[in-house]
Homo-oligomer: A and B are copies of this chain.
Amino acid sequence: MSYFDAASAAPLHPVARQALTASLDEGWADPARLYREGRKARMLLDAAREAAAEAVGCRADEVVFTSSGTRAVHTGIAGALAGRRRVGRHLIVSAVEHSSVLHSAEVFEADGGTVTRVPVNRAGAVDPSGYADALRPDTALAVLQSANHEVGTVQPVAEAAEVCRAAGVPLLVDAAQSLGWGPVEGAWSLLTASAHKWGGPSGAGLLVVRKGVRFAAQGPADERESGRAPGFENIPAVVAAVASLRAVRAEAAQEAVRLRELTERIRARVPRLVPDVEVVGDPERRLPGIVTFSCLYVDGEALLHELDREGFSVSSGSSCTSSTLTPSHVLKAMGVLSEGNVRVSLPMGAAEEDVERFLEVLPGTVAGLREKLGTPAPETAVQAGELVVDSLGKRCPIPVIELARAFGDVPVGGTVRVLSDDEAARLDIPAWCEMRGQEYVGEEPADKGTAYVVRRVR
């Protein structure tokens, strides 16, 4: 079995397991109590806080342990926004943040706040000037991930932090994907992270609030974790989280080189081994272990299923793998193909032979799926001298397949109009044009669904 979905959850690091089981005996009591068992629990918690602070590069009293990375994000954003409510109610996020950030932004909007979503380039990166342009006198908070969880692109956090600092606006950095690799540089004000992303246990997140940052914890009062994370502390999880962070950091520099070489193989070889593939994300400024690509004319869910049968656990941003049947918001913001999408995220210690086997298995798997799809010839008609493809009621990847099939009948200079009510078409038809070097004219509302117009330019 090859588990290649570390960006979702990394397997428990042996050090985490050891620290967790070791601290079960001394970490169960209430650290607020003054008796012996409470004092032992407090000592474990204090030591973990010191070690976490050292790994993050902050003061111990700036560290709050939460029950998950998502909780850290929810708490951090809500508290920072409330703390600067007098300044204003404007929030800046990038378009490719984790859903916990974007959902926090939605709640803030529903409550009357205003949100600016900074766009990204085709590689998934924001430009710091995008943050500079978004800043307003009433900006309470800006949020930026250290690196993207779906495509691995590293964001210019230090530059964005500097832009924010100059304007007196705190920047919250979601470091979920990168903290295991190293501290976040720059003048950030708040930071969040999630232990199970670096091989720590479930049940432990990290929220850092720098001294001097205005912060007003929301929700019912609670004395634990400086009033910022209610509920009984999960000390064994915290101890294991911090112990494993130190352990992965000790291996990080060496392992980064090794994983980067492995993902570079995938980046380089997949487009040669599999026709009609787009590798997405920044080729240089990226996390060591993540590589993402999309395959034209392939159903993402079927691809995941086949790879699972072959022993590979990967994830996908294709619409068919989402409960809402919409493509990943990250791929959408990047404007890249979402069909047949595969994210490979290697855990630390991933074996070279597993990566090689993946590269062996992938071409046949994709070819088999493409063959099996065997869609009937598309329903086409010529209206006003233009070819119209009726893909209504059909789901990704069918509309793009039908476009490709019908395209042979379009003369150079002519246009084809694809009717579709599938959300993925809005992303994938322009992406297909980009890949094929054809002109995407645009979309128009149709009687049913949307009409996507493509001009044959070669």
Contact = CB atoms under 8 A, between A and B. Distances in A.
Interface stretch (A86-94, A160-168, A199-207, A285-293): A199-207
With a 10 A CB-CB cut-off, give which of A28, A107, A205, A219 has the most chain B CB atoms. A28
Interface stretch (A48-56, A307-315, A390-398, A428-436): A307-315
B219 A231 contact: no
Interface string A1-22: 1010100111110000100110
A211 interface: no
24 contacts: A5-B35, A8-B29, A9-B28, A9-B29, A10-B28, A11-B29, A12-B24, A20-B20, A28-B196, A34-B305, A36-B308, A67-B68, A67-B234, A68-B231, A70-B222, A74-B219, A107-B220, A201-B234, A202-B234, A203-B234, A203-B237, A223-B323, A234-B234, A234-B237
A456 interface: no
A205 B205 CA distance: 17
A281 to B, nearest CB: 20
B17 A68 contact: no
Interface string A228-259: 00111111110000000000000000000000
Contacts of A24: 12, 17, 20, 201
A28 to B, nearest CB: 5
Interface string A303-342: 0110010001111000001010000000000000000000
B33 A221 contact: no
Interface of A: 1, 3, 5, 8-12, 17, 20-21, 24-25, 27-30, 33-38, 67-71, 74, 78, 99-100, 103-104, 106-107, 194, 196, 201-203, 205, 219-223, 230-237, 301, 304-305, 308, 312-315, 321, 323
A381 B376 CA distance: 105
Nearest to A38: B313
Specify how many copies of this chain sit in the oligomer: 2
Given A8-B29, A28-B11, A74 B205 contact: no
Nearest to A75: B219
Nearest to A305: B34
A264 to B, nearest CB: 24
B28 A315 contact: no
Contacts of A67: 67-68, 71, 203, 231, 234
Contact of A232 (B3, B68, B315): B68
B236 A1 contact: no
Given A33-B313, A34-B301, 12 more contacts: A3-B35, A17-B24, A29-B313, A35-B312, A35-B313, A68-B232, A70-B230, A74-B230, A103-B220, A202-B235, A203-B203, A234-B234
A70 B9 contact: no
A348 to B, nearest CB: 14
